A and B are shown apart, each in its own frame.
Chain A
Amino acid sequence: MASSGKSAAVKAPEPPAELVRESLVLNNRSLGWITNAIAGVCEKPMPMWWWPAFIVSVGGMLTMFSLIAYLVSTGVGVWGLNHPAAWAWDITNFVFWIGIGHAGTLISAVLFLLRQKWRTSVNRAAEAMTIFAVACAGIFPVFHTGRVWFALLPGYLIPAPNANAIWPQFRSPLLWDVFAVSTYGTVSLLFWYVGLIPDLATLRDRSKGVMRRFFYGLFSLGWTGSNRHWSNYEKAYLLLAGLSTPLVLSVHSIVSFDFAVSVVPGWHTTIFPPYFVAGAIFSGFGMVLTLLIPLRSLFKLEDIVTLRHVDLMCKVLLATGSIVGYAYGMEFFIAWYGGSPYELYAFKNRAFGPYWWSYWAMISCNVISPHFFWFKKLRTSVVFVWIVSIFVNIGMWFERFVIIVTSLHRDYLPSSWGYFTPSWVDIMTFAGSFGLFMTLFLLFIRFLPVIAISEVKGVTPQADPHHPLGGAKGHH
C-alpha cells in the first residue's frame, strides 16, 4: 500500500467502507450473550409448538417401524417392487437421504478447510442433520433385501464367511457402498461429537439439575478449556475436516457406482460420480435451509444465523443447482453423441415416456428454481428462500426416482417392460422416515446446543487478543 511517509505517528489506515466485512454476530453481542442465547435454547422448557411437533414426528417414526415389521414378516412385495423395477422407492429414498447428509459435511469440513468463518453458526445443526439423514438412509437398503437376517448374516455384508465358508464378494459396488455409508455415518458422528465436547462442558458448568449435570459432565469428558488441550483439539479437528472432505466426495461417488458400474441404459455413464456429488450438496443445502430458517426465528437466533448466512447458502444452491442442470443437459447430449440406440431411447423415454411427469417435476424444481437466486433481494427474503428450499427437496427426490425407475422399467427387451406403481406401504414408509428424522432433530434441539457455542465465540472480535474489542490497548 502506498504510504504518505510524512508523519511517523500515522495510524493504520481504515479500509474503505465497502471493504469492511459485516461482522458474523450482529449487534456486537458479548461472549456471555452468545452463551446465554444458545445454551438457553436447550435449558429453558421447550416452546408450545415443540410438543405437537414431537408427537406427530414420533407417530411417523412408529408408523415406519410398524410397516418395516410388516415388510419383514411378509416380504418385499408389500413395497410394490416387481420385475422389471426391483429397485424403486426404497433406493430412491436411500439416495435421497444420504444426499441430504452431504451438505452437513460440506459445511463442517470443506468450508472449514476453506476458512469460511460463517460456517460456525450453521455447522452444528447441519452436522446433526447429516447424522440423522444417514440413519434414515441406512434403513432402506437394509430392509429392501427382504429377509434381512440373510443380509446381515456373515457372507453378504459383514466381512465374515457364510455357512459354506464363502466370503463377501468385494467386486460388487454394493459392498463398497456398505463400507462407504457405514464409514460416513461413523466419521460424521465422531466429527460432530468432537465439536460438541467444549459446548457440553459449557452446559455442564451452567446446569442446575442433577441429571443434566451428570450427563453433560459424562459426555464432556472433564473438558476444562485448557490451551494445551485446545492445541491438540484444534489439530484433531483440522485433521477430521481433512478426512471428511475426501470421504464425503467418495461416498456419493460410490453410491453412484451402484448404478454406473452396471450396464443398464441410463445408468452406465461416467458423469455419475460428480453429478451425484453436486446433486447431493444441492439437496443437502435445500434441507439445511428448510430446517434453519424456522429454527432461527423460533428461537430468536437471528443475530447468530444472519441473513448473510441465508444469502451465502442460496449462492451454494445456485452454484450446485447450475451444475446439476448442466449434468442433465450433458446426459442427453452424450446419449445422442454416444450413438447407442438403447441409451438414446432411455433418455427419450425419461422425458416423454410414461414417467414424463416425474422428469418434468425434476426439471422444474431443480433447473428452474435455483436461478431465482441470481437476485440478492430474493436470496435474502427468508420466506421465499424457504419455499424454494422445499422445491429443491422435492426435485431432488424426483431426480433419484427418475434415474432409478425410468431406467429400470424399460431396458433392452420390450417383452420385459413394465410400469412401477408404489404401494401404500411404500408411501407410508417414506413418510415415516421423515418422522424418524424430525424426532431425532427435535430431540437434538431439546438437549444439545443447536449452534457451536465455542466456535461462534472464536470468530467474534472479542476473541481476538489484537482487536480493541478483545481488550487490546491501542499501542500498535
Chain B
Amino acid sequence: MNSNRSKPHGLLAEFHTAADIFEAAMRCRDAGFTQWDVYTPFPIHGMDEAMGLRKSPVGWFTFCGGFTGFFTGMTMIWYMNKFDYPLVVGGKPLFTPLYAFPVSYEMTILLSAFGTLFGMFFLNQLPKFYNPLFKNERFKKSTDDRFFLCIEATDPKFGTDVTRTFLTEKCHAAVVELVED
C-alpha cells in the first residue's frame, strides 16, 4: 500500500471501558463533529443521547409493511372468494372481514417484519462488505471487548493534527490513522 496515493479515511481512537467511550462521545458531540461514530461490541445504554442521534425511523418501515400486509390480505381474499370466482361453501357468506381476519392478521405481521428487517438494512446501508475500518487489526477487538471512536476525514471540522490532539489529550485515547485506497 502506497501511503502517498492513499487518501486518509479518518482517525481511530481506542478505549478500554464503556465509561471512557461514553465520555469521549459526549466530547465529540460538544466539539461539533458530524462525520463520526463509535464502535462497540454491544449497544451502550444512553449512547444515542451522548452522540446526539435522532430517534431511529425504522418504525415507519414497519408501519408501511404492516399496512400493506393487512390490505393485501383483505383484498386478496375478497377478490378470490367473492369477486373472481364466488363459490358458496357451507352456506357461509362469500366475504366478510371476520373470516378474512386471521389471514390478514398474519400478513400484517409478516410484511411488518420484512419492513422492519429491510428498513433496518436500508438505514444502516447493509450489507457493506468493504469498510476501511476492517483494515485495522486492532479494530477486530471492537466485536470483543474494546471500544472505538472514529472521526472521519470528511468531517468539515477534521484536521489530522488538530483532531489527533483532541483525541489524545481531551479523550485520553490511543489513536491511529486510517486510510482508504
Contact = CB atoms under 8 A, between A and B. Distances in A.
- Is chain B a partner of chain A in the same complex? yes
Interface stretch (B2-10, B99-107, B155-163, B173-181): B99-107
Nearest to A217: B129
Contacts of A190: 113-114, 117
Contact of B140 (A176, A194, A206, A243): A206
B68 interface: no
A35 B143 CA distance: 9
Nearest to B140: A205
Interface residues of B, number: 71
A169 B37 CA distance: 53
B42 A454 contact: yes
Contacts of A463: 18, 42, 44-45
B20 interface: yes
Nearest to A227: B38
Interface in B114-128: 114, 116-117, 119-121, 123-124, 126-128
A32 B92 CA distance: 63
B56 A232 contact: yes
Contacts of A254: 102, 106
A202 B109 contact: no
B117 A236 contact: yes
Contacts of B20: 471
A169 B86 CA distance: 10
A229 interface: yes
Contacts of A462: 17-18
Contacts of A228: 37, 51, 53, 124
A290 B55 CA distance: 41
A381 interface: no
B120 to A, nearest CB: 4
Contacts of A473: 19
B101 to A, nearest CB: 9
A175 interface: yes
Contacts of B141: 205
A94 to B, nearest CB: 17
Contacts of A222: 126-131
How many A residues touch the partner, as a band?
35 or more
B102 A464 contact: no
B169 interface: no
A159 interface: yes
A175 B104 CA distance: 12
B135 interface: no
A471 B17 contact: yes
Interface string B20-53: 1111010000000000011111111111100101
A454 B103 CA distance: 35
A225 B80 contact: no
A455 B41 contact: no
A360 B129 CA distance: 58
Interface in A242-274: 243, 246-247, 250, 254, 257
B1 interface: no
A175 B128 contact: no
Contact of A167 (B18, B85, B106, B144): B85
A191 B109 CA distance: 12
A206 B144 contact: yes
A152 interface: no
A182 B31 CA distance: 51
A230 B140 contact: no
A165 interface: yes
Nearest to A178: B103
A300 interface: no
Contact of B110 (A187, A201, A257): A187
A205 B40 CA distance: 13
A472 B103 CA distance: 51
Given A225-B142, A235-B58, A472-B19, A230 B113 contact: no
A235 B102 contact: no
B16 interface: yes
Contacts of A464: 18, 45
A3 to B, nearest CB: 26
A351 to B, nearest CB: 32
Contact of A170 (B42, B99, B117): B99
Given A236-B58, A243-B62, A465-B19, A221 B113 contact: no
Contacts of B87: 166, 169
A243 B107 CA distance: 12
Contacts of A173: 102
A11 B76 CA distance: 65
Given A202-B143, A232-B56, A455-B42, A171 B127 contact: no
A223 interface: yes
Interface of B: 16-23, 25, 37-48, 51, 53, 55-56, 58-59, 62, 76-77, 80-81, 84-85, 87, 89-90, 92, 99-100, 102-103, 105-107, 109-110, 112-114, 116-117, 119-121, 123-124, 126-131, 133-134, 140-145
6 contacts: A32-B144, A171-B89, A172-B89, A175-B103, A205-B144, A222-B127
Interface of A: 30-32, 35, 159, 161, 165-173, 175-176, 179-180, 183, 186-187, 190-191, 194, 198, 201-202, 204-206, 217-218, 221-236, 239-240, 243, 246-247, 250, 254, 257, 453-455, 457-458, 462-466, 470-473
Given A159-B80, A236-B120, 4 more contacts: A35-B41, A170-B99, A227-B44, A231-B43
Closest 9 A/B residue pairs (Cβ): A471-B17, A471-B19, A167-B80, A31-B145, A465-B22, A221-B127, A236-B120, A235-B56, A458-B42
